[in-house]
Amino acid sequence: MVANVARAEWDPLREVLVHRPGVEMFFGLLEPYSFLYEEAFSLTGAIAEHRALEQALTDAGVVVHRLKEWIVAAARERPELVERIRREVLRTVRYTGSAAMVRDARTALRRNLSRFDAESIFNILFLRPTIRLERHAGARVILPQVQLDAPLANLYFMRDQQALTARGFVFGRMSKPQRRGEPPLTRAVLRAMGVRIAGSIRAPGTFEGGDFLPAGTFALLGLGDRTNRNGVEQFLRMDTGFPEIAVVRQPAHPLIPGDERDPMVDMHVDTYLNFAGEGIAVGCEPLLRAAKVEVYGPRTRHGRHRVPGTQPLSRYLRSKGFRILPITTLEQVSYASNFLCLRDRRILTFEVERIVPRVLQSLAAASRANPRRYGPLLRQALKDRRRLGNLGQFFPYKPEIAELGIHARTIRLEEITGGYGAAHCMTCALARTPV
């Protein structure tokens, strides 16, 4: 493995860690809203699309590690990794019932752990079972009832559990309880693999990797529904290698009434902004203007000094010499900015137009249920569809892409984006080599 650093989002991507979704995704599809999905989709199609993502990365010269296979391979050489995972299993599995039955069950689990294969261990960690034991009259008449405690249906969004900085990984703490079990698993794996570590966010702080974008001499750090103020303060105290950090306050969408804001529309910074190359920002202008930035200077032993005042994110980016390649409201809610930058002016993305009908259908349903809250957003999205459709300029097929010399490799991500994210969300960068 090469050095675990990421100085800028456009530096050449060398290695990534991904998780190909499995049975845990099925439970998310049973109740999409509770599991933070946008809507239900095809499990088979989603897995096939994830395989295509892995292949496209490999074709681009990126070394792809899959979480499950990585642990299985590493376990042969690193006994400490096996022990970490086993301890996580013992913390995850729960038993209820009489004290004697619970004691016997836990004793049996500890005894049997060494016999479990990797698939069994992963299913335990992903599904998080609680087993209720009830004894009835008769020989060995026990009724076991299994309840799953928030299966890790979002684990395939491998960006969010941690973030790679210029000084190594910052391990996060998820805002939503549905995802709280993910970072302990990925942290155990990455630590055992000997990655470089810059720090970890502790309670009551929250931090998610989709709220972090490295940009060379500075980095963007989101503040909002997923990354709270305490998490930001902890992050600012760490040595992450950036002379300046711009804390971006999550904006309320201008088309959604202020007293009914929906943080899922722009839950992370990378859902409305991304970097396609050095000096090139792709973003939704209304949100970039609405997002306010707090600037913090170089790190000292007393912390980082905050520059007085705030400014719109769009102004801040332009002051740093960035050209903003605009995307429409419809493209933003269709994950256009959630591409993955492979290197300067080379991105991996999908054809946004392919998922527009599904996104509009979802918006229309939301508007029918709450016209005041989602009506303006739907009307703007329909307006964007007419204009972009007439011009044939849905992302990435925009004249600015060719003008700026950006090469966009497209793959199909029509099903798996129903989980609320695309290529950027699904990849944990392990190394970017500075140029």
Nearest to 87 by CA among 193, 195, 185: 185
pLDDT, residue 141, reads: 67
Give the whole-number percent of the chain exceeding pLDDT 70. Answer: 97
Q: What secondary structure does DSSP assign to 182-195, as a single string?
A: HHHHHHHHHHHTT-
At residue 79, does pLDDT exceed 90? Answer: no
Sign of CA dihedral 383, 385, 390, 393: positive
Average pLDDT score over the chain: 94
Nearest to 251 by CA among 235, 236, 234, 268: 268
What's the mean pLDDT in 111-136? 86
What's the mean pLDDT in 53-60? 98
CA distances from 392 to 276, 350, 351, 388 (A): 21, 15, 11, 6
pLDDT, residue 215, reads: 98
Q: What secondary structure does DSSP assign to 99-153, as a single string?
A: HHHHHHHHHHHHHHGGG--HHHHHHHHHH-EEEEEEE-SSTT-EEEEEEESS--T
At residue 29, does pLDDT exceed 70? Answer: yes
Q: Which of the two residues, 200 and 89, has the higher pLDDT score?
A: 200
The model carries a pTM of 0.94
pLDDT, residue 314, reads: 98
pLDDT, residue 70, reads: 82
CA distance 366 to 333: 13
pLDDT, residue 139, reads: 55
pLDDT tens, 282-334? 999 999 999 999 999 999 988 899 999 999 999 999 999 999 999 999 999 99
CA distance 295 to 359: 35
CB neighbours (10 Å) of residue 435? 11
Domains of the chain in start order, with CATH, are: 13-65+153-432 (3.75.10.10), 72-148 (no CATH)
pLDDT, residue 383, reads: 98
For 155, residues 6+ apart whose C-beta sits below 8 A from its C-beta are 19, 21, 24, 67, 126, 182, 185
At residue 72, does pLDDT exceed 90? Answer: no
Q: Which of the two residues, 411 and 140, has the higher pLDDT score?
A: 411
Instruction: Please report where in the chains the tokens 């009506």 appear, as a residue.
Output: 375
Q: Is 404 exposed, middle or buried (0-12, 13-18, 19+ CB in 10 A)?
A: middle
What's the mean pLDDT in 380-404? 97
pLDDT, residue 172, reads: 98
pLDDT, residue 203, reads: 98
What's the mean pLDDT in 79-88? 76
What's the mean pLDDT in 1-14? 92
Task: Round the CA-based radius of gyration of the chain to a whole number and report it.
Answer: 22
CA distance 416 to 280: 27
- What is the 3 state secondary structure string of 340-354? EEEECCEEEECCHHH
pLDDT tens, 250-266? 999 999 998 788 999 99
pLDDT, residue 223, reads: 98
What are 208's two structure tokens? 């998610």
Find how far residue 4's CA is from the centre of its chain: 18
